[in-house]
């Protein structure tokens, strides 16, 4: 219902027509395939070979580190947990075929490919996803924010939470020159 609620029945519940984000109308307005919007997904990894995401990933060919140094080619982002250029979730690296990891779910919600006959469609199907894997410690998150900034992302999705105030993290978020999006419960 979130993208286009026509009052349809989902899981035996009737929706309310028009109670949605008007995605279909927005797609009509913004129908050009502008791939210049890069959304950094700061999470526990993104399954970048997923059918809905494989063509939606940021090109990390000329990526820069969080300190601005050239890294050479990154695989669609960076892994701050293991400090390497492969941000795929550990479950995928181990061959787990269960439900998609959280970061993959978030990336799909944002930019899953439109009209590919598989899965779902993202809210912004022309956007590119920069995968930033982290164990979600403050130091890794700060490095990931700086990586996103140095590599041209203007939007960060940070779907994680915490209970304590961290002044260094606050400063990193405040110094990011774009949108820093968190989920409602975080």
- E-strand spans in 106-154? 128-133
Find all residues with CB under 8 Å of 23, minimum gap 6, and list them.
2, 3, 4, 123
Mean per-residue pLDDT for 10-26?
Answer: 90
Mean per-residue pLDDT for 129-138?
Answer: 95
Mean per-residue pLDDT for 109-124?
Answer: 86
**3-state secondary structure at position 102:** helix
Give pLDDT, residue 115: 80
Cβ atoms of 62 and 153 closer than 8 Å: no
Lowest mean pLDDT among 15-24, 31-40, 41-50, 75-84: 31-40
**Which strand (E) or helix (H) includes residue 142?**
helix 138-150
- pLDDT-based confidence at residue 121 (cuts at 50, 70, 90): confident
Find all residues with CB under 8 Å of 141, minimum gap 6, and list them.
42, 80, 134, 158, 160, 169, 172
For residue 31, pLDDT beyond 80: no
* Chain segment 144-179, per-residue pLDDT in tens: 999 999 999 999 999 887 788 999 999 999 999 999
In the chain, what percentage of residues exceed pLDDT 90?
Answer: 65
Which of 25, 4, 40, 36 has the alpha carbon at shortest distance from 134? 40
Query: How big is the chain by its Cα radius of gyration, in Å?
Result: 17
Neighbours of 182 (CB within 10 A): 14
**Alpha carbon distance 154, 38 (integer Å):** 7
**Alpha carbon distance 143, 132 (integer Å):** 10
8-state DSSP, 84 = B
Neighbours of 84 (CB within 10 A): 12
Cβ atoms of 116 and 103 closer than 8 Å: no
For residue 186, pLDDT beyond 60: no
* Chain segment 57-107, per-residue pLDDT in tens: 999 999 999 999 999 999 999 999 999 999 998 655 555 555 568 899 899
């Amino acid at each position: 219902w979130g993208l286009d609620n026509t009052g349809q029945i989902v899981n035996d519940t009737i929706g309310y027509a028009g109670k949605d984000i008007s995605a279909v109308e927005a797609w009509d307005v913004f129908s050009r395939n502008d791939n210049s919007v890069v959304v950094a997904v700061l999470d526990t990894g993104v399954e970048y070979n997923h059918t809905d995401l494989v063509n939606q990933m940021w090109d990390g060919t000329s990526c820069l580190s969080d300190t601005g140094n050239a890294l050479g080619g990154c695989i669609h982002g960076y892994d701050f947990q293991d400090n390497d250029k492969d941000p795929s979730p550990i479950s995928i690296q181990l061959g787990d075929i269960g439900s998609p990891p959280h970061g993959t779910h978030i990336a799909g919600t944002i930019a899953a490919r439109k009209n590919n006959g598989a899965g779902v469609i993202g809210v912004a199907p022309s956007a590119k996803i920069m995968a930033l894997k982290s164990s979600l410690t403050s130091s890794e998150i700060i490095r990931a924010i700086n990586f996103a900034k140095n590599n041209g992302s203007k939007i960060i999705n940070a779907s994680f939470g915490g209970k304590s105030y961290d002044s260094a993290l606050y400063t990193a978020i405040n110094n990011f020159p774009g949108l820093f999006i968190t989920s409602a419960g975080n």
